[in-house]
Structures are given as structure tokens and as C-alpha cells.
Amino acid sequence: MTQTPFEPGAEFDRQVRTLIDLGYPAMAGLGPATLAPLRELAVRHGGTTCDPEGGRVPFVLVLSREIAPIEQTMPLTTVHGRRKPGFVDHSFEPGALERFVAVSEVEQVYLLFDVERGEEFCGAVPSAAMNVIAARGRTLLTIEEGIALITHFPQLLAKNKCFSLGGSRCGDRRVPALWISRNAPKLGWCWEGNPHTWLGMASAGGRRAAA
């Protein structure tokens, strides 16, 4: 594993700059009153190591779909070292994406801590992987959190090391997932009972919003 140099405050600032440089929706309206408390949380709880290539990062700055719609943010993602924009797969029928909502309550702007892409679950049945993660006291990533993860750390989405996002569901057997298609990130879905050797299950230690 290759751990990148890491200092939580500098990493938080980098993630803010990344969103601004991408022209991220809603960033113009997020001023110091919103970001300063989140930066303080990052410094306090962000740890000291970061290993994107190994599939684990200390925290990710997340904006909810209410202020940064998925249809606008997914095309701002790329595979590491490539330029083709990410896309939402056509398997989401009209109106389906809106029904894939977070299974746990989330804030509009927050930090996701202790994030893993979960390649240990490659080849596992997704529903079984979700049960294991729940037993560990960890939380499954939502669609927005998965997009934020590969926006800030594109290295995490790699060949044969892609991941499902079990934190967003629509009430049926479909589980959203991010993988690589045509040299670009793709947001699609797979059945909760169908394992894939190249698809793990992403999770995090928890979420924290500004008080």
C-alpha cells in the first residue's frame, strides 16, 4: 500500500478547492460559516494516514443531492489518469434515480469518516456483505457519498476494485454501484443477490455535520 502525505486541515482545503475548481453545484453558496466548523471536525477526527490506492481514506466532504444533484455531479467524475466524464447508466429508468434515497438520515453538507471501498467483498453476495458491515457497526455509502469519494480520490475506482453503494435504496432488490465502463466512471445498479468478482461494498465509520 502507498500512503500519501497527509495533514487533515490541508486535505480538507484540497477537497474544497477540488469542488470549486470543478464548478461544483452550490459551492458558491458555502461560505466560512459553513465550512470552518467542518474543517475543525476534519482536523480533530481526520487521523494521520491516507491510502487511496489501498482503498481507504480518512474523510470525504459530501454535499447532498438537494444542493448538488447527482445528474450534475456524476459527469464531473473521471477515472484516475483519464478525462472521459462519468455518467448515469440508462438502466435507471425515468424517475428511478430519485427513488434511490439514503436509508439513514443525512445532512446537506457533512464529512464522511473512515471510508473503505470494501474490495474484501468482491465476489460476495451484496446482501450478505451489507449484513457483515452492519454487524461491524459501520455505515453503507449512499450514491452521493460514492460520487464524492471518487471526486476527491479518483484512484479508489480501479479495475476489479469497484464498489456498491448500499446506503441508497429504492425499496426493491437493486443496489446502486460505481464501476468503470468505456474508460469512465458509471453509476449503475446490480441485484442484491448477485455477486460480482469486481464489485465490493463501500462503507464508512460514520458521518459528522457542523453543529
**Chain centroid, CA 162 distance in Å:** 11
Q: pLDDT tens digit string along 139-150?
A: 999 999 999 999
pTM score, whole prediction: 0.95
Residue 39: the pLDDT is: 96
Q: What is the DSSP letter of 64?
A: -
Domain boundaries, given as residue ranges, for the chain: 8-208
The Cβ of residue 69 has, within 10 Å, a number of other Cβ atoms equal to: 16
Element (H, E) at 42: helix 32-45
Instruction: Determine the Cα–Cα distance for residues 157 and 160; give it in Å rounded to an integer.
Output: 9
Instruction: Determine the Cα–Cα distance for residues 88 and 124; give it in Å rounded to an integer.
Output: 24
Phi, psi of 145 (to 5 degrees): -70, -35
Tell me whether residue 79 is exposed, middle or buried, using C-beta atoms within 10 angstroms of its C-beta: 0 to 12, 13 to 18, 19 or more.
buried
Q: pLDDT tens digit string along 13-48?
A: 999 999 999 998 888 788 888 899 999 999 999 988
Q: pLDDT tens digit string along 59-112?
A: 999 999 999 999 999 999 999 999 999 999 999 999 999 999 999 888 999 999
Instruction: Assess whether pLDDT exceeds 70 at residue 131.
Output: yes
State the residue for C-alpha cell 453543529: 211
Alpha helix ranges (H) inside 22-155: 32-45, 70-73, 96-99, 126-135, 143-152
Angle at 201 between CA 200 and CA 203, to 5 degrees: 140
Residue 3: the pLDDT is: 57
Q: Do 167 and 102 contact (CB within 8 A), yes or no?
A: yes
State the residue for C-alpha cell 470543478: 22
